[in-house]
Amino acid sequence: MSGTTQYPSERARPGQDELPTQSSPLKAQPPLIVVGYSSKPEGRAALRRAVSEARLRGAALVVVNTSSEVDTDGGLASELAASGVSYDIKTPNEMHDSAEELIRTAEATDADFIVIGLRRRSPVGKLLLGSNAQRVLLDAACPVLAVKADLGAE
């Protein structure tokens, strides 16, 4: 009985010939968070949470400004600049549907998740979720973080 002994580490692995001999490192994209902002308490709460999540994850923010009020003093931009996170503010020219704008922005930017704000509701109101919030929660392709406004902020 002549033969050679082949140890497991010396055996060819299935599919080994198909593997490239040299691989290039994948460039990891930084995480991206899309946040729906308005000057209302629920919009402010969403922005605060999105900034907190961006710091935690080393992510950049895309702020979709759905507020009907014009930010003439640059308060939103200065608040974001002071936060130290990378950001982009997107203000749609025509605001027909804020839910659709958030979903479209998240898809276009390949966002990791969306942050939206919710109003506090009465016991009867809890049976219904706001139509914009419901659309984002149900139609977004990425995870959605829904944040309640602070109790005293209303």
| Portion of the chain with pLDDT greater than 70, in percent | 69
Q: Give per-residue pLDDT as tens, 61-113.
A: 999 998 877 665 578 999 999 999 999 999 887 766 888 999 999 999 999 99
Q: Provide the residue ranges of all domains of the chain, joining segments of one domain with +.
A: 29-153
Burial of 51 (0-12, 13-18, 19+ CB in 10 A): buried
Best CATH choice for the domain 29-153 from the list 3.30.950.10, 3.40.50.620, 1.10.10.10, 3.40.50.261: 3.40.50.620
| Cα maximum dimension of the chain | 90
pTM (predicted TM-score): 0.74
Angle, in degrees to the nearest 10, between helices 98-109 and 131-139: 30
- Categorise residue 38: left if φ over 0, alpha if ψ from -120 to 50, beta otherwise: beta
Q: Which of 118, 122, 148 is nearest to 134 (CA)?
A: 118
Element (H, E) at 34: strand 32-37
